[in-house]
């Protein structure tokens, strides 16, 4: 009952029914009074007829009044009525006074019943009409939902079970809208990813095809075979790295990666991430320095965190000129552990900072740089790995004054730690 009372339309209809019942009670009381008044009129008319008859028969007024005041019927009187045909079985409508009283009472009752019935019917039809309009409005909005149009909302502002149902349907529509937008975004992202992948693979595949044609044409020239075989291997390695990064990112996107955090030494984590890159740094004439307390430990997934750190170091080497320095260091503050990769390369332009974690994004300066490596997947992968473990990957950078050196960039992986 309390839930029904909360709905405004249902509450109005219940109030109408209560008022109708009260009016019906009043009508019944008034009808009883009218019936009593008509009965009194009939009795007075009959008494007037009896007095007139008694006076016509020569009785005095006193005798007639005395007869009218008799309160009990005698056996002789009953017998006389029986002989004249006036018994309880006699039809009431045979008496003119009763017939007139019954007619007037019936007319009043019929009129009242008709008016009350019309009032009840009008109130019920009004309630049903308003309810039907509400249902029609809701059906129209739901039809739009089914067509993918979520610009309108189901009726709001009311209380009660019906409006709670509307609110739940609205929430369901919003969830469907969000899911639809997510699916459209995923399809668009997949479309863009396929386009980017095909574009990224097109260059090494074309180069590989060209190298193989050269090798076929000049198989006797040892230097040419050696040179273009090395280039073919570089193209294959680039494709292998690209496909490997894409597969890892796809696994992270699909949620199929389960991070298994454990308490591991930071020095071992850094060594695992930078071991292969140390050789590259030496070959490119760059310094790779590791600094930090060898006793420090951090709780994380060692395999995936090393992968993220390795991509940060690769990115730093990609953006550092010969003779430059890449420094991996870590420190611990109350409640926070931070592992950073710093380089003194070209730095990141201010307009590029909001986009560096987007997939396949490369700044115009990167594309213009000769020999600049990378396809724009290392940083997004590192960010996904760190955030997937509840950490934060942040960056700060000061661009160089010109060329590809003289700047400073620091990428920092932050994890919460025990005090």
pLDDT at residue 221, rounded to an integer: 75
Span 265-314, pLDDT tens digits: 999 999 999 888 898 899 999 999 999 998 999 999 999 999 999 999 99
Is 97 contained in some domain? yes
Q: What is the CA radius of gyration of the chain?
A: 50
Q: Kindly tell me the sign of the dihedral angle through the C-alpha atoms of 155, 161, 166, 171.
A: positive
pLDDT at residue 228, rounded to an integer: 76
Which of 209, 242, 257 is the C-terminal boundary of a domain?
A: 257
Whether the predicted pLDDT of 67 surpasses 90 = no
Percent of the chain with pLDDT over 70: 84
Per DSSP, 21 falls in state H
Q: Which residue has the higher pLDDT, 286 or 365?
A: 286
pLDDT at residue 372, rounded to an integer: 46
Answer yes or no: are the C-beta atoms of 330 and 338 closer than 8 Å: yes
Helix 96-146 and helix 161-217, axial crossing angle in degrees, nearest 10:
20
Specify whether the backbone of 148 is left (phi greater than 0), alpha (psi in -120 to 50) or beta. Answer: left
Is 151 contained in some domain? no
- How many Å apart are CA 68 and CA 54, to the nearest integer? 10
Which of 219, 241, 257 is the C-terminal boundary of a domain?
A: 257
Number of domains in the chain: 3
Is 195 contained in some domain? yes
One domain for residues 298 and 384: yes
Tokens for 31, please give them: 């009808």
One domain for residues 350 and 397: yes
Is 16 contained in some domain? yes
Strands 325-333 and 287-291: parallel
- How many Å apart are CA 319 and CA 314, to the nearest integer? 9
Whether the predicted pLDDT of 105 surpasses 90 = no
Looking at the DSSP bridge assignments, the partners of residue 326 are: 288, 343
One domain for residues 132 and 160: no
- How many Å apart are CA 260 and CA 252, to the nearest integer? 14
Among residues 147, 153, 149, which one has the least CA distance to residue 170?
153
Is 66 contained in some domain? yes
Span 147-188, pLDDT tens digits: 777 777 777 766 666 777 777 777 787 777 787 777 777 677
One domain for residues 114 and 64: yes
Among residues 329, 390, 383, 338, which one has the least CA distance to residue 356?
383
- How many Å apart are CA 110 and CA 226, to the nearest integer? 116
Q: Which residue has the higher pLDDT, 346 or 35?
A: 346
Span 70-103, pLDDT tens digits: 777 777 777 776 776 666 665 665 566 666 777 7
One domain for residues 176 and 282: no
pLDDT at residue 306, rounded to an integer: 93
pLDDT at residue 159, rounded to an integer: 66
User: Could you tell me how many residues make up the chain?
Assistant: 419
One domain for residues 171 and 60: no
Q: What are phi and psi of 352, to 5 degrees?
A: -90, -20
One domain for residues 59 and 200: no
Whether the predicted pLDDT of 251 surpasses 80 = no
Q: Which helix (H) or strand (E) holds 178?
A: helix 161-217
Is 318 contained in some domain? yes
Q: Which strands sit side by side in the sheet containing 336-343, from one edge to the other?
A: 287-291, 325-333, 336-343, 408-416, 392-398
Which of 92, 126, 146 is the C-terminal boundary of a domain?
A: 146
Domain that holds residue 371: 262-416
pLDDT at residue 330, rounded to an integer: 94
Is 300 contained in some domain? yes
- Asked which of 145-159, 251-265, 275-289, 401-415 is least confident by mean pLDDT, the reply is 145-159
pLDDT at residue 365, rounded to an integer: 58
Looking at the DSSP bridge assignments, the partners of residue 342 are: 327, 410
Q: pLDDT band for position 233 (50/70/90)?
A: confident
Whether the predicted pLDDT of 327 surpasses 60 = yes
Dihedral, CA atoms, 7, 11, 14, 15, nearest 10 degrees?
180
One domain for residues 45 and 119: yes
Whether the predicted pLDDT of 200 surpasses 70 = no
pLDDT, averaged across the chain? 79
One domain for residues 129 and 160: no
Residue with tokens 């390795």, as numbered in its chain: 310
DSSP 31-100: HHHHHHHHHHHHHHHHHHHHHHHHHHTT--HHHHHHHHT--S--HHHHHHHHHTT--TTS-GGGSHHHHH
One domain for residues 15 and 90: yes
3-state secondary structure of 209: helix
Is 19 contained in some domain? yes
One domain for residues 8 and 47: yes
One domain for residues 25 and 42: yes
Q: Which residue has the higher pLDDT, 67 or 89?
A: 67
Question: Distance of CA 298 to CAs 71, 234, 262, 270, Å?
Answer: 114, 36, 8, 11
Answer yes or no: are the C-beta atoms of 300 and 415 closer than 8 Å: yes
Tokens for 315, please give them: 């990115």
Q: pLDDT band for position 373 (50/70/90)?
A: low
């Amino acid at each position: 009952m309390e839930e029904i009372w909360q709905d405004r339309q249902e509450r109005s209809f219940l109030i109408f029914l209560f008022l109708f019942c009260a009016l019906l009670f009043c009508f019944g009381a008034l009808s009883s009074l009218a019936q009593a008044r008509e009965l009194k009129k009939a009795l007075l008319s009959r008494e007037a007829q009896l007095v007139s008859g008694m006076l016509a028969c020569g009785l005095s007024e006193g005798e007639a009044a005395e007869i009218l005041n008799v309160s009990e019927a005698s056996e002789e009187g009953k017998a006389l009525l029986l002989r004249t045909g006036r018994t309880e079985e006699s039809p009431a409508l045979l008496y003119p006074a009763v017939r007139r009283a019954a007619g007037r009472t019936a007319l009043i009752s019929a009129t009242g019943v008709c008016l009350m019935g019309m009032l009840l019917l009008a109130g019920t039809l009004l309630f049903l009409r308003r309810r039907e309009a509400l249902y029609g409005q809701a059906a129209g909005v739901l039809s739009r939902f089914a067509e993918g149009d979520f610009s309108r909302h189901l009726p709001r502002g009311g209380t009660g079970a019906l409006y709670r149902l509307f609110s739940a349907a609205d929430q369901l529509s919003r969830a469907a809208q969000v899911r639809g937008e997510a699916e459209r975004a995923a399809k668009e992202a997949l479309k863009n990813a396929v386009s980017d992948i095909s574009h990224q693979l097109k260059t090494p595949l074309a180069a590989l095809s060209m190298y193989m044609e050269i090798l076929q044409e000049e198989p006797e020239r040892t230097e040419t075979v050696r040179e273009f075989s090395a280039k073919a291997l570089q193209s294959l390695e680039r494709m292998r790295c690209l496909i490997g990064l894409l597969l890892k990112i796809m696994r992270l996107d699909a949620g199929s990666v389960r991070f298994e955090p454990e308490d591991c030494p930071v020095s071992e984590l850094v060594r695992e991430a930078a071991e292969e890159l140390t050789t590259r740094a030496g070959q490119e004439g760059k310094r790779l320095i590791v600094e930090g307390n060898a006793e420090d430990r951090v709780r994380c997934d060692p395999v995936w965190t090393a992968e993220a750190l390795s991509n940060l170091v690769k990115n730093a080497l990609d953006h550092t000129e010969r003779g430059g320095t890449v420094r991996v260091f870590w420190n611990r503050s109350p409640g926070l552990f931070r592992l950073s990769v710093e380089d003194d390369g070209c730095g990141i332009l201010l307009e590029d900072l909001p986009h560096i974690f987007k997939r396949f994004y490369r700044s115009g300066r990167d594309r213009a740089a000769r020999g600049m490596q990378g396809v724009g997947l290392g940083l997004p992968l590192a960010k996904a790995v760190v955030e997937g473990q509840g950490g934060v990957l942040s960056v700060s950078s000061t661009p160089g004054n010109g060329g590809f050196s003289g700047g400073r960039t620091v990428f920092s992986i932050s994890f919460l730690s025990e005090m």
